[in-house]
A and B are shown apart, each in its own frame.
Chain A
Amino acid sequence: MDRIPILRMGDVLLVTIQVDLHDQVAMQLQNDLTTQIQRVGAKGVLIDISALEMVDSFIGRLIADTSSMSKVLDAETVVVGMRPAVAITLVELGVAMPGVRTALNVEKGMALLARSRLED
């Protein structure tokens, strides 16, 4: 089964979703990510969904949930690179993801994480 790799850069975890996110894969990712945050004591998580072309309400909610979970584990989460079509779909589905921080690309996402860590 496909598994989404989680890369570690300092105390930031980098997740790049390059394949179609099936429900099973997404739930596996949620598991892996929370475990990993706890294990390495990550302070930030960056989820890159720029290659994600299709979402449904389940995936949308899962991404929002994952980000909330990371926050509970004291890791600031940024979702980056959402495509216009995906954003429109999520809005139409009513998944507004309140509380999830977003950025246009990985670079800006990293900058955002660095800034929020400075503020702490």
Chain B
Amino acid sequence: MDLHELFVADKAAIRAGWVQELQRSSGNLAGRVTQGELMKRADEMADLLVQALGSSNDQGMETVDFAVLDRFFDEFARDRVEQGFNSEETATFVFSLKRPLFQRIQERFSNDASQLAKLSWQATELVDRLGLRAVGAFQRMREAVIERQQHELLELSTPVVKLWKDVLALPIIGTLDSNRTQIMMETLLTRIAETEAAIAIIDITGVPTVDTLVAQHLIKTVTAIRLMGADCIISGVRPQIAQTIVHLGVDLGEVTTKANLADALALALKRTGVRTSDAGGSTN
């Protein structure tokens, strides 16, 4: 008798044991999924498992074709990710199968030690593989979500705004990496070419940390802007960032920096020859 036959013969008993285990661990579902849904999933997986085991021969678990189960796991993992489960909870769903399976094997082969050992080993191997696949699928789904969000973030994060005639501003929010800087630089430079703006202000108030790499990126952007014939001001330098830059020994060279956007705009207006008056506060 192999695992497949055992499964076919004792499916009802194993399923009942599994359901019991699931119910026991379902205390921490926190309303994210109903028991009914959980049972439906368990049934679905048990059916597919029997199907997959049927394709194996006596050689052990290497020959089992898990393709049918992979489709199930993908779907299962997608739901789990959406419902906000973590990988541990997802794995528990599969590993709950272990106890009922072992119980069945033990009951059936209590006087046949060699069969008991063989089947126990096969069962361990099977459940472990299933668990790994479930976690693997869960991980893939999570990564897909992260990748999508990163992509969206990249598109969201490079707005070039016009502050005044001939003055553009680019507020940066979040960490600057090479990829983002590249897109940021291209967007800003293209806009400068389009609008023939004389001054571009890069506001880094929303950049949490500045390391040598980020400083390097900023200097590159400023240099490119200067090469095109426009001026660049970096604003929103916080005290901590000023300290970091100096401690790191980064030479900002001729880059004009201002503490906040208002100062930068005032300087930009002065350079473009716009006269402002303090009295009214408004300038239009």
Contacts and interface: CB of A to CB of B under 8 A. Distances in A.
B162 interface: no
A77 B144 CA distance: 52
Contact of A84 (B189, B196, B198, B223): B189
A88 B224 contact: yes
Nearest to B196: A104
A104 B230 contact: yes
Contact of B229 (A90, A91, A92, A104): A104
A interface: dominant SS: mixed
Given A84-B193, A88-B189, A104 B220 contact: no
Nearest to A108: B229
A102 B231 CA distance: 10
A109 B220 CA distance: 23
Interface string B219-233: 010011111111000
Interface residues of A, number: 20
Nearest to B187: A84
A87 B222 CA distance: 10
B186 interface: yes
Interface string B180-199: 00000110011011001110
Contacts of A104: 192-193, 196-198, 228-230
Most buried by A among B193, B226, B227: B227
Interface residues on B, range: 10 to 19
B193 A88 contact: no
A90 B224 contact: yes
B229 A80 contact: yes
Most buried by A among B186, B196, B197: B196
Most buried by B among A80, A87, A92, A103: A87
Contacts of B190: 84
Contacts of A109: 229
A82 B228 contact: yes
A18 interface: no
A46 to B, nearest CB: 11
Interface of B: 185-186, 189-190, 192-193, 196-198, 220, 223-230
16 contacts: A79-B227, A79-B229, A83-B193, A83-B228, A86-B227, A87-B225, A88-B224, A90-B227, A92-B220, A96-B223, A103-B229, A104-B230, A105-B196, A108-B196, A108-B198, A108-B229
